[in-house]
């Protein structure tokens, strides 16, 4: 048990100490506080539990374990809920516009509850994609001792399937490669239980990024959801937050510029999601750490892709868990001089100290490649500039798709229109599918284009068709895809001026995205362009559209 001192009750003492706080104590007695509890540091346990999605269906039990750990270490835990949504369920529908918005709602709600109730420390347990950056943004704003716990990855489905297998099976059915019975077999068996989507998609990307950042306990990102290791991880996190309180170690001590550089390195080596770019920018903004798209360019030049993980590779996160997770990878990176070993972590030790006793991967494994045999010698997260993306776009190019694509624009004004066009055979080899008015403001909400990209793959066009958008992509998307195009179409970006038949050139080696149309023609089109009416005028989506910044700045709402 951690030795409890008065300076560990910096916030709760203002709520429960003194005669004038009798009403507050009376309320807390009703929820289970005793006299002794009022002298303990209060630890908020932010749970993202919901039956909305398998990613979060088990998190109530994990939050309880974190609470037990905090109580055992001498604190008083208080569990509270915040929301989650499911990208996997909402993808391809209007509901997906709420996905990125939920990141801000989660951050706002954690800040609101912890700030209001006077919790001294915080443990947050998250599963689905937006939970993780949402929790970290909330922690950064509050800057109180805090630890994030990942809810864990799902087990593989039958025949090594996962949620992306189902999306791609829809495309295979449209191509008449499989029948309805085969499609239903994939649907019925791909999601076997609790946990976040099983490849190096956005959830596992962000869990790994946060561990590399130092805000999770070592190993937290690489554990199965339904495992004893995950329960123990939660209990230890509850205990450790008391140690952080005793030493007054706050997120600002951990989430430094060097730590973000470590995080970027790790997600590149893992072949992580493009959403990692968006979320790390937002997390750094919340912590007042300067981070830009140019940092991804510079770090990416010297960082190889080493992990053969889905969606572009063959292995799943559960298989990486079985050989040791990301800790041996980080030790390899540290030994190669690619990580800052002096960054502080939630263990109270530096990254180098945490990694000092970590063994290497077992001999014979081929999930993580050696440095002299990378999947790609530099980053797959390619930041593109050019007349189509003056302030930047983000491509996910592993090299398997090729490094250059030149094609003819086929333009759609929404994800639904594009999906219909792909499924009906409008999109053919040599096309560059352009999906616009799906940016943070124009959507609003910057939907993921998983349904169109999966349909393209399912129809066998993955190497023959490119897709560009001012929206974003699921971590499960693969193929020759470019998202986060800025300025977005709603703001009058060049993507709003593209017409069917225009030539578009995407070059990952020169990092350019170019519309091959003369300046005079573009000027004429711009003079004729009119900003469309907002799609929503009231409610959370309307508020989000008014507040949100560019994707090149992390799509934050408190710029």
Residue 401 is predicted with a pLDDT of 75
Mean pLDDT calculated for residue range 56-74: 98
Is residue 226 within 8 Å of residue 291, measured between CB atoms? no
Q: Could you tell me which residues are annotated as the binding site for Mg(2+)?
A: 87, 129-130, 448
Pick the closest to residue 25 from 12, 36, 38, 13 (CA basis). 38
Q: Which helix (H) or strand (E) holds 217?
A: none
Residue 441 is predicted with a pLDDT of 98
Residue 371 is predicted with a pLDDT of 98
Is 183 a residue whose pLDDT tops 80?
Answer: yes
**In-domain check, residue 362:** no
- Which CATH number fits the domain that encloses residue 462? 3.50.30.80
Q: Could you tell me which residues are annotated as the binding site for [2Fe-2S] cluster?
A: 55
Angle CA 444–447–450, to nearest 5:
165
Confidence of residue 170 (pLDDT cuts 50, 70, 90): confident
Is 15 a residue whose pLDDT tops 80?
Answer: yes
**In-domain check, residue 20:** yes
The answer to whether residues 386 and 248 belong to one domain is no
Residue 18 is predicted with a pLDDT of 98
**In-domain check, residue 450:** yes
- Quick: pLDDT tens for 151-168: 999 999 999 999 989 988
Q: Residue 123: give the domain boundaries.
A: 6-155+193-255
Is 251 a residue whose pLDDT tops 80?
Answer: yes
User: The tokens of 236 are what?
Assistant: 């230890």
Mean pLDDT calculated for residue range 398-422: 92
Computed on alpha carbons and rounded to an integer, the radius of gyration of the chain in Å comes to 23
Is 173 a residue whose pLDDT tops 80?
Answer: yes
Confidence of residue 21 (pLDDT cuts 50, 70, 90): very high
Residue 475 is predicted with a pLDDT of 75
Residue ending a domain, among 237, 255, 273, is: 255
- φ, ψ of residue 558 to 5 degrees: the values are -130, 40
The mean-pLDDT minimum among 75-79, 87-91, 475-479, 550-554 falls in 475-479
Is 217 a residue whose pLDDT tops 80?
Answer: yes
d(CA 496, CA 522): 10
Domain count, the chain: 2
Confidence of residue 98 (pLDDT cuts 50, 70, 90): very high
Residue ending a domain, among 255, 274, 309, is: 255
**In-domain check, residue 278:** no
* Location of structure tokens 């900003």: 531
**In-domain check, residue 471:** yes
Is residue 34 within 8 Å of residue 91, measured between CB atoms? no
**In-domain check, residue 410:** yes
Confidence of residue 184 (pLDDT cuts 50, 70, 90): very high
d(CA 43, CA 233): 16
Instruction: Tell me how long the chain is.
Output: 559
Residue 196 is predicted with a pLDDT of 97
**Active-site annotation holder among 208, 474, 550, 552:** 474
Pick the closest to residue 280 from 414, 381, 368, 361 (CA basis). 381
474 assigned to active site? yes
The mean-pLDDT minimum among 113-127, 231-245, 348-362, 458-472 falls in 458-472
**In-domain check, residue 188:** no
For residue 79, the Cα-to-chain-centroid distance in whole angstroms is: 24
Residue 471 is predicted with a pLDDT of 98
- Which CATH number fits the domain that encloses residue 101? 3.40.50.2300
**In-domain check, residue 169:** no
* Location of structure tokens 């974190």: 66
Output the 3-class SS for 122-138: EEEEECCCCHHHHHHHH
d(CA 447, CA 440): 8
Residue 451 is predicted with a pLDDT of 87
Q: List, as one string, the DSSP characters of 442-454.
A: TTTS--B-HHHHH
Q: Say whether 410 sits in a helix, a strand or coil.
A: strand
Residue 110 is predicted with a pLDDT of 98
d(CA 132, CA 113): 17
User: The tokens of 559 are what?
Assistant: 């710029």
């Amino acid at each position: 048990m951690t030795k409890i001192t008065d300076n560990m009750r910096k916030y709760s003492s203002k709520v429960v100490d003194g005669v004038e706080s009798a009403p507050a104590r009376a309320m807390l007695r009703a929820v289970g506080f005793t006299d002794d509890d009022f002298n303990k540091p209060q630890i908020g346990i932010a749970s993202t539990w919901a039956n909305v999605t398998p990613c979060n269906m088990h998190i109530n039990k994990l939050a309880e374990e974190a609470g037990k750990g905090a109580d055992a270490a001498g604190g008083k835990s208080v569990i509270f809920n915040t929301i989650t949504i499911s990208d996997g369920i909402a993808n391809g529908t209007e509901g997906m516009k709420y996905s990125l918005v939920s990141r801000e709602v989660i951050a706002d709600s954690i800040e609101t509850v912890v700030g209001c109730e006077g919790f001294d420390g915080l443990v947050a347990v998250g599963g689905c994609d937006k939970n993780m950056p949402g929790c970290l943004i909330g922690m950064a704003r509050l800057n109180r001792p805090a630890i994030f716990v990942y809810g864990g990855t799902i087990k593989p489905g039958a025949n090594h399937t996962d949620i992306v297998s189902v999306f791609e099976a829809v495309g295979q059915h449209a191509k008449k490669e499989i029948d309805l019975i085969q499609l239903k077999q994939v649907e019925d068996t791909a999601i076997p239980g609790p946990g976040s989507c099983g490849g190096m998609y956005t959830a596992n990307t962000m869990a790994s990024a946060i561990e590399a950042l130092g805000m999770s306990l070592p190993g937290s990102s690489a554990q199965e959801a339904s495992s004893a290791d995950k329960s123990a991880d939660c209990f230890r996190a509850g205990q450790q937050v008391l140690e952080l309180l005793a030493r007054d170690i706050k997120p600002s001590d951990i989430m430094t510029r060097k730590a973000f550089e470590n995080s970027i390195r790790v997600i590149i080596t893992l072949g992580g999601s493009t959403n990692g770019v968006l979320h790390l920018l937002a997390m750094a903004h919340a912590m007042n750490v300067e981070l830009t798209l140019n940092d991804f360019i510079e770090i990416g030049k010297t960082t190889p892709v080493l992990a053969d993980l889905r969606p572009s590779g063959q292995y799943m996160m559960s298989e990486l868990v079985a050989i040791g997770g990301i800790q041996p990878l980080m030790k390899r990176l540290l030994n190669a001089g690619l990580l800052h070993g002096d960054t502080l972590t939630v263990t109270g030790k530096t990254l180098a100290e945490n990694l000092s006793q970590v063994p290497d991967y077992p001999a014979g494994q081929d999930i993580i490649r050696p440095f002299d045999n990378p999947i790609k010698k530099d980053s797959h997260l390619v930041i593109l500039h050019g007349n189509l993306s003056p302030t930047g776009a983000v491509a996910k190019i592993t090299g398997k798709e090729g490094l250059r694509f030149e094609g003819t624009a086929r333009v759609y004004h929404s994800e639904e229109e594009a999906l219909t066009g792909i499924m009906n055979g409008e999109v053919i080899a040599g096309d560059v599918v352009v999906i616009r008015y799906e940016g943070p403001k124009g959507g609003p909400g910057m939907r993921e284009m998983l349904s169109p990209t999966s349909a393209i793959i399912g129809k066998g066009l993955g190497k023959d068709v490119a897709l560009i958008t001012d929206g974003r992509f699921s971590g499960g998307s693969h193929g020759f895809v470019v998202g986060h195009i800025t300025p977005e179409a709603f703001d009058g970006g060049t993507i709003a001026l593209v017409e069917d038949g225009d030539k578009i050139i995407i070059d990952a080696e020169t990092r350019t995205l170019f519309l091959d149309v003369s300046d005079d023609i573009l000027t004429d089109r711009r003079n004729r362009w009119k900003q469309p009416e907002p799609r929503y005028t009231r409610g959370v989506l309307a508020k989000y559209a008014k507040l949100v910044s560019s994707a090149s700045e992390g799509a934050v709402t408190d710029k």
